[in-house]
Structure 1
Amino acid sequence: MHEYTDGCQCQYKSRHCMGDVSNGQQDFGYDRLIRNYFETSHAKGPQDAAGGYVKRQADLAILRRKATIQTAHDFYKFANENLQETRDSSVCLRRVFRFIDNIDRNRDRYFKSIPQNRNIHQIISEREGLLSVRNLSCYSCDSCLLNMAHSCQHTELVGLVKNIQTEKERGCAIVEDISPDDDFEVVDMIRKGSLVALYTDDEGEDFYLMKAGSCQEKLKSSETDDWQGQYPEGTTVIRGLYYRKTGPLSYSLIKRKNVIVSVKSVLYVTNDILTDSVIDLSLETKK
């Protein structure tokens, strides 16, 4: 199995992910698992935005009141019904979605750091707990094409193969599943730049939109915002700027007039839509 990914230190090049590769044969039954890391800013293309694009389409569908997505299965159903086909078949022929009903998140396998992992651009699983690593990948000599990296004919270019024994950490706590009963609220997703839909009782309006200027906070004293909204000490609020509705699904940011709103008025939060000065939710964004 050959994998190609970027070299993000907190994702596939983290110590735990690299340690998992050393268990690839045991976990997945492969004869050998080979992971190649692209250099920074290399291999950029449509695949980079694959996940973000799907989430953004879901956000837009919710704001347009064309879909109700409250669970992972709702998300899967929406994607399956609306996002399988692509506009540019030369870049991406189709999208395939799979729904996994249950994921075992209990993990008791953690690993210590691998020295100089910034210089490593290929790792190969040899057996449980053992990795072969080298500075660059090679797919241009017969030895490497036959999975015999130790006999590589281009070691002067890609470097020598080194064997590294992965070491497990001890005494790590097991990560528990997040259950539906956990105290997670939609306002916990708010950060600077989030697009927030707010409840309104104005006739003819489904919601107000605002650009969040910060995370939620509890007021230490009473405050009045630029819209003359008054909030007593102890109220949990978010600060930001309103959008003015300029069309059925288009909005313009109202600058230099700050607003404070109670978190109780928050209906929906997304961090996948750019909060520009002008937002048009009716734009066709299918790719």
Structure 2
Amino acid sequence: MLRRTALLSALTLSLLLAACGKKHEQAVDDSVAAENAEAQATEAPVEEPKPEPKADYWQFVGPLVAGTYEGECVRLPDARKMDATIKVGADGKVSSSGLEVDLHTAKTIMMMRSRDDKGQYSTVATLAVDEGQGGTLSLQSGKENGASLGKGETGIACTTVTANRNLNARPLYQSVAKLLEGRKQTIGCLDTKNLLVRRKLDFAFDNGVVKIGDASFDLKDAVGEGFTVNDDGKNVGLIVEMPAKRTLNVLFDGAGNVTLLQAHNDQESTHHCMVES
């Protein structure tokens, strides 16, 4: 439970980091827009800024969640027992008892896979179309299996669901690797012993191994992991818990470029890196 809580906190941190980054970018955009408006009075119009790259997240999320979920179900909000099936199509369209949600329009995705003391894994996933009434799908596979689909005030919640083998079959990083494999980049990192010192380190992701300068994280050894997708694919976060209480949190843009990286051991922060503008 403590491990899952720690990993969930890291996932939440990734969401917050993405949100903070978005607010900062919006503030910069507003400032630039004001300057451009003033300049346009005497200068030629400036070019429109290029749209931020977005990851096609469904390519690595879809294969994990697509399937048919049946179990002991109740209708929400009245909790009336009913026979129901939640179907998640390969195209991202979900349906159950009159409810329909298109997950290809999901703005936020959070997935977490953790290992218990007996070496058994469990995976949970939440996909939300928006913060309002657009629809949310939640799945759990492992020791307990469940699925729920909600839209507006209504929903279907099922327990003792036939296990979705794809959801819990393999490490999550192997799916995100489609976006990151072969990635190499130089990023600016603070010296955690002396925050006034900043140095450039090489980042690489190859065959499941993350390298930051001389440090390396072999994700095949992870005891817990997760990833988040925010802002409709503009930000992707990878969170990994390694043996010996080492953790790694990497935030990418939709093209797979590192924007922020943090790593800790049991005692302290070991890396704090971000893209140099």
TM range (shorter): under 0.3
Q: Could you say which structure has the larger radius of gyration?
A: 1
If the length of structure 2 is used for normalisation, what is the TM-score?
0.19
Return the structure number with greater strand share.
2
If the length of structure 1 is used for normalisation, what is the TM-score?
0.19
